[in-house]
Structures are given as structure tokens and as C-alpha cells.
Structure 1
Amino acid sequence: MKKIGFIPLRKGSKGIPNKNKLKMVGRPLFTWVLGEAIFSDLETIYVYTDDKTIIEFINKEYHWTNKVKALLRSEKSASDTASTEFAMLEFCETINYDFDVFCLLQATSPFTKRGDINTCLKELNGDYDSALSVVNTHRFLWDKNGKPLNYNPKQRPRRQDFEGLLIENGAIYTITKAALQKHKNRLGNKIAVVKMAEDSLLEIDTESDWIAVENLLIERQKREKKSEKITHLVLDVDGVFTNGTITYTQDGEHTKNFDMRDGMGLEILRQFNIEVMIMTSEDSQLVAKRMQKLKIEQVFLGVKDKYTLLNKIVKDKNMSLSHVAYVGDDVNDLTNICSVGWSLAPNNATDVVKQNADVVLSKNSGAGAIREACQFIMNYNKRF
């Protein structure tokens, strides 16, 4: 069966302007669900948007996979009055319903994991024609007339004895092609419910919502961390290899300063079979030449969604994030900082990175921070 994902995005956002593109834990909000969808059982994921900058971003950022496609949606389907169903059906007509299973994913649900997506897809293999994600809440509900809706206040149950209610969290909807064509809706007649974590019930409509969700995501990533023997070291460049500044010449060319001692530390690491990789958002030939001099083969330039690329790398190498040490200094490194086995930050890194890194180094970037990180890794690995 051909299973496709569908992520509708609009430029317009009333509560938080440009919400889909704003950085959530250092990544554009929509990349949280897109990244998980890439590693799910979906064959193709379509991002349907009226924002040409998002289309350009996707075409450049996810060149390493053929699973992601960005399509321009009509102005009518992106209007304030258009329903999600309208956009879905317009899209389906565009691709001539070339699928067996349709999966609607909401970009404003960053708690969605690939396992949640796969579970919703699997529900369609049995007696159901559609499925949706829900959260089991133990809240007591009342109507406006002061009438309890889901419990007897005279016999108030303990939380562990209370089944609670299942509430739609708006994250995932799956449906067969036949049911979608028949009902013109994201759900059919025989609907399965798939429980997700309680945090996923939060909606991002205000700045306060954004802060709450971001903090919860940071804590989730940290809870999932495991520390094992370090086999790979991933490094940012500006603010890690260098002090984060660029010097321009009269002709407009720029230069960067690198610490020779950092290069020696990386050479020693490789002698202990630790693979070194570079991952930077800047596409710089100066960086490429420096890494060639250091004999670092895996150099990834111009990367904006560092977390998804890192997940691809560990999957391709049949390893896990717990074997990775990561050195970064700024917000675009934050998700990786919160997710790998060991994260390290130079002493002059941004405050948010230092607050969430496992180790804050005593040295500044471009002044021995990498050499210090290499020594930490060698000492740490001795226990294994």
C-alpha cells in the first residue's frame, strides 16, 4: 500500500506571525513533524504551502532524501476561511489520488514522533478505515450551568482510579483513499484512536503557549538521552572552531582564524577510532578547505535542520544518538545539544546553549575549546 503524508502550511498566522517558520528549540517549527515523518513508514511526505521560501528551504535542505516534496497550494486553499479538508481535497485532485493511505500531519504538533505516525498507519490494516491521535486526560469537565460532565463530585475519584476522557490533540489523522473519497473528510466511519503523550495536547496559539511547548520539548529530548561509549564527534564551526567573528578584506573576501591545537586534538581522537564530522549552517569554501587540511572527510555545509540530518547519519551508520558527542554554541545547535549522548559548549557560547549542554568547557571557541572537548572524550571513554 502506498502511504503518503500531508503537511499543510500557510503563511498567514493570526496568533503568532510566521509561526510555522519560527525556531522552536533552534529549528523551524514545521521541521519537528517533518523530520519524524521522514523516518516513519510513510513513503512520501508532501508539504503543501503558499510560502515559496518554505518550498526553497525544503528543496535545499532535504536533498539527501527522495521522500519529501514541496508543492505550492492555491491562494483560495490558503485563505483564512478555507478548511483543512478543502486543502486536502485540492491536493488529492492535484496528484490524482495517487495513494492508498493518506496521513494528515499538523505542523503545530511538534510532539509527534515517528512511532505515533506508524501506529496510526497500522490501525488501517484491520477493521478501521481511519484513525486519529488522542490524549487521555484526567481533567474533570463542567458545563456553563455548573453541571459536571464526566464524574460525580460527591464521589470524587482518585486519579489512578479515574479513566478520564480521550481528547483529540489534532496531531495525526490517517484514512484510506476509499474513505476519503467517499466522506470528503479526514475521518471515515470506522475510526481507531491512538494515544499520544499528554504533553501533545498543548496547542501553540500564543507566545505563552510557545514558551511552554519549547521548554517541554527540551525536557523530553533530555529525558531520552543515554550515555554510551562515544564513537562519533560532531562539531559546529563558527563559534566552535572560530571565535564567531569574520574579518573582511577591502575586496569583500573574509577570513577566519582557527586554533592549531584544536586540529591536534582531533587528530589524536581519530587515533582512538572516533569519527569526526562537521555540521555547519554556513556554506563556506574556507571551512571546506580547512577541514580538508584536517583530513575530516564528513563535512556537511549549509545545514539548517541539523537534528534531522544527524538522525539520518546515525540511522545510516546503524548506531544511536547516545554514541555521539556534539559541540555547538548557538540556538541552531540546541536540539542536538539536548539530544546526543554528550553535549559540550565553549565557555563563550550563548546562554541558552550553556544552560542545556552537559558540559560547559573552560576554554572559549577558537582558543582551545575543541582540544579540551577531545580530552574530555578520551577521559570519558576510558571507562568503556
Structure 2
Amino acid sequence: MKKTAIIPLRKGSKGIPAKNKKKMLGRPLFSWVLTEAIFSNLDEVVVFTDDIEIIQFVEKEYHWSSKVKALLRSSENATDTASTESVLLEFSEKIKYDFDVLCLLQATSPMTTAVDINVVLAKIEKEKYDSALTVVNTHRFTWNTDGTPQNYDVFHRPRRQDFEGLLIENGAVYATTKTAFEVSKNRLSGTVGLIQMDETNLVEIDSMTDWKIVEELLASRMKKSKKHQRIDFLVLDVDGVFTNGQVFYSADGELAKAFDMRDGMGLEILRQHQVEVVVITSENSPLVAQRMKKLQIDNTFLGVKDKYAFLQHFVKTRDTSFSALAYIGDDVNDLTNICSVGWSFAPANATEIVKQNADYLLTNASSEGAIREACETILKYNKRY
């Protein structure tokens, strides 16, 4: 049974300009649900968009996953008035209905996890529903515009624990069989299965207020899921961690970066204690490649913009966990990893947002012993294991 997901994205957005590409915890908004889809039971994940820049980003950043594709969406189906059903129909016709289950994922629901997607798929695969969707149970009392209550008796107000509440469609995940969709032309038809998500998943991003709420919820969820164990990997950014963030240019391009020799020795000592060193940087710099080769860091990955998705891929291929990772980062593109690894470090001169979210604020600045300090801290920490 081939399970295909579509993530529809529009270039235009009036409420929040360029919403789908705007950085949430340092990552483009759409990358949150895309990454979860990659690590779910889906067989194929297609970003369907009229934005060429997003298509290029997807093709470059997720080359390590055979699941991911990007297709160009017509301008007619990328207007304010175009319905989601019309987009699903265009997509289905474009791929010649090459699926058994079609899953609709919304970028505006970044709290969606691979587990949520899998449970919705299971409703169709295992429980034989025609379609399924995610809902949230909210214990709110609702009213009609004429001043009459919708879901309770004002003279017998129920206690929260005795109130069943309301199931509200939260717009995160939908799925339908090919057969049902071909007949109804709708994302939901036939026998419909419901999957309840946590009430925190009720917020969809339609305003900057929603954005700030969801960003805080994401960061909080990641931090709560941290587990402490022995650190087996130290993952580092480069600019602002190995270097002070300054780059010297000549007419021919990048000329020089400054590295601290003591950091190199700290990493060598760390490796002697069976901690692997990994470098992930968004820059594709020959100078960085040369320095990492000198330091004998084989796990060096250049030009990675979505560091969190790539780190998830690394964790899976190395059969380890985020709890076994330590991370040093200094800027917003490191923020998601800072919030998710077992131990995160920020140099003394990191950006304020990273300092606020890191587990450990180093006393030394980048290229002035910050890495060496982190190495020594990890060695002391690992002694308990």
C-alpha cells in the first residue's frame, strides 16, 4: 500500500508575509512537518508549491532522503480563493493517482509529529476507515450568536472532569484512500476515523501571535523530552563557534578565518575518551574543509541549512539518540538543535536567544577557548557513566 503525502505551500501569504519560509526556531516553517513526514511510515512526501525557491531548497537540503520530492503547483491553484480540494485534485492528476493512501499535511501545524502521522495512517491501513483526520478535545463552553449555549446547560454547569468537551478539527493531518477520494473528490468521505491530538495542537498559525505561541510550545516540548546519558557525540557549528564569526575577504572571495589551536587539542582529547566529533555548518567553505581535515574530523558536513533535519538523519544512521549528543551553537539556525540534544552549550558571545535556550553558558567566547571549555565539561560529565 503506497502512502503518499502532499504538503501544499503558497508563495503568497497576506497574514504573515512569506510565512512558509519564515524561520521558526531557526528553521523554515514548512520544514517542521516535512521532517516529521520523512521519519514517519509514509512512502513518499511531496512539497507542492508555486515557489521555485522552496523547490530548490527541498532538492538541496533533503537529498539524503529518497522519500522527498518537490513539484511545481499551478498559479491558478495558488491564489487566495483556491480550495485545498482543488490543489489535491491537481496534485493527484499530476502524479496520475499513483498512491493508495493520500495524506494531507499542513505546514501551519508545526507541532505535528511522525507519531501523529502514523496513527492517522493506521486508521486507514489497519482499521479500514475510508478517511481519517486529527482533532483536539477542548473543554470550552461554546455559544451561539443569539446568546444561547451550544454545548452545556447554564443552570447545570459541569465540572471540567465531568465534561466530555468538544472535538475540534485542528487541520494538522488528513488521510484518505484513493478509492474514496476518486469518488468524493474530497479529503474526507465514507467512514471517517478520528485521531485525538493534545490540546496544545489546537493553535494554527494565522497571525504573529499564533507564531510566538507555537514557537514557545515547540521549544518547551523539545526541552521536556531531553534525557541525560553519556555523551557519545559532540556536534559543532563553525562560524561563531570555532571562529569568532569574522571572515576576511579578498577580491577573489573568502580569504581567512581565525581558529583557536587550544580548541583543536580539546577535541583530540575528547576523541581519546571515545567521544566522536561532528561538524555541521551552513557554509560551504574550502577554508573550513581544510581546517577540519587538519583536525581529522571525518564527520564534517558543509552547506547544511536545515541542521535539525540532517541531525535526525545522522542520529538514525548511527543508531543513536539525541540524548547522546552535545551541541555547541551560537545563532538562530542552531536553535532547534540547542533545544533538543542531551546537552547544549553556547559560547559567551553567542546571540541572546541561543544563550536563553542553551543548557550551559560557557565562560569563554568563540575562538577564545569556548570549545576547549565544553570538551573539559563533557569529560567531567561523562565520568559518572
Q: TM-score range by the shorter chain?
A: over 0.9
Offset at residue 271 of structure 1 (A): 0.4
* Structure 1 stretches of 4+ moved >3 Å: 250-253
Instruction: Tell me, yes or no, if structure 1 residue 154 matches structure 2 residue 155.
Output: yes
Whole-Å separation in 1 of the counterparts to 2:377 and 2:147: 61
Whole-Å separation in 2 of the counterparts to 1:25 and 1:119: 26
Offset at residue 252 of structure 1 (A): 3.5
Instruction: Report SS of the residue matched to 1:153.
Output: coil
Larger deviation: 199-208 or 368-377?
199-208
Instruction: Tell me, yes or no, if structure 1 residue 20 matches structure 2 residue 20.
Output: yes
Offset at residue 44 of structure 1 (A): 0.6
Q: Deviations over 1:138-184 (max 9, x none)?
A: 01111111111111122222212211111000000000000000000
Instruction: Report SS of the residue matched to 1:35.
Output: helix
Instruction: Report SS of the residue matched to 1:58.
Output: helix
Native 8 Å contact 2:4 2:101 kept in 1: yes
> Paired residue for 2:121?
121
Instruction: Report SS of the residue matched to 1:244.
Output: coil
Larger deviation: 141-150 or 250-259?
250-259
Whole-Å separation in 1 of the counterparts to 2:188 and 2:232: 46
Instruction: Tell me, yes or no, if structure 1 residue 44 matches structure 2 residue 44.
Output: yes
The correspondence of residues 68-83 of structure 1 with structure 2, limited to 5 A, is 68-83=68-83
Larger deviation: 5-14 or 149-158?
149-158
State the TM-score, normalized to the length of structure 2.
0.99
Whole-Å separation in 2 of the counterparts to 1:47 and 1:339: 25
> Paired residue for 1:229?
230
* C-alpha spacing 1:98/1:251, structure 2 compared with 1 (3 Å): closer
Whole-Å separation in 1 of the counterparts to 2:378 and 2:46: 40
The correspondence of residues 259-298 of structure 1 with structure 2, limited to 5 A, is 259-298=260-299
Whole-Å separation in 2 of the counterparts to 1:144 and 1:79: 31
Native 8 Å contact 2:236 2:328 kept in 1: yes
Whole-Å separation in 2 of the counterparts to 1:84 and 1:128: 21
Larger deviation: 249-258 or 317-326?
249-258
Instruction: Tell me, yes or no, if structure 1 residue 342 matches structure 2 residue 351.
Output: no
Larger deviation: 66-75 or 241-250?
241-250
State the TM-score, normalized to the length of structure 1.
0.99
Q: Deviations over 1:295-348 (max 9, x none)?
A: 000111111111111111111111110000000000000000000000000000
* C-alpha spacing 1:323/1:346, structure 2 compared with 1 (3 Å): same
> Paired residue for 2:333?
332
Instruction: Report SS of the residue matched to 2:135.
Output: strand
Native 8 Å contact 2:233 2:276 kept in 1: yes
> Paired residue for 2:136?
135
Offset at residue 109 of structure 1 (A): 0.4
Offset at residue 48 of structure 1 (A): 0.3
Native 8 Å contact 2:247 2:254 kept in 1: no
Offset at residue 250 of structure 1 (A): 4.8
Whole-Å separation in 2 of the counterparts to 1:213 and 1:240: 28
Whole-Å separation in 2 of the counterparts to 1:203 and 1:250: 47
Instruction: Tell me, yes or no, if structure 1 residue 380 matches structure 2 residue 377.
Output: no
Whole-Å separation in 1 of the counterparts to 2:318 and 2:306: 19
Q: Deviations over 1:246-297 (max 9, x none)?
A: 1123543421000000000000000011010000010111101100000000
Larger deviation: 150-159 or 29-38?
150-159
Whole-Å separation in 1 of the counterparts to 2:101 and 2:152: 38
Whole-Å separation in 2 of the counterparts to 1:201 and 1:124: 23
Offset at residue 216 of structure 1 (A): 1.1
Offset at residue 14 of structure 1 (A): 1.0
Offset at residue 214 of structure 1 (A): 0.8
Paired AA for residue 78 in structure 1: A
Whole-Å separation in 2 of the counterparts to 1:8 and 1:237: 34
Paired AA for residue 214 in structure 1: E
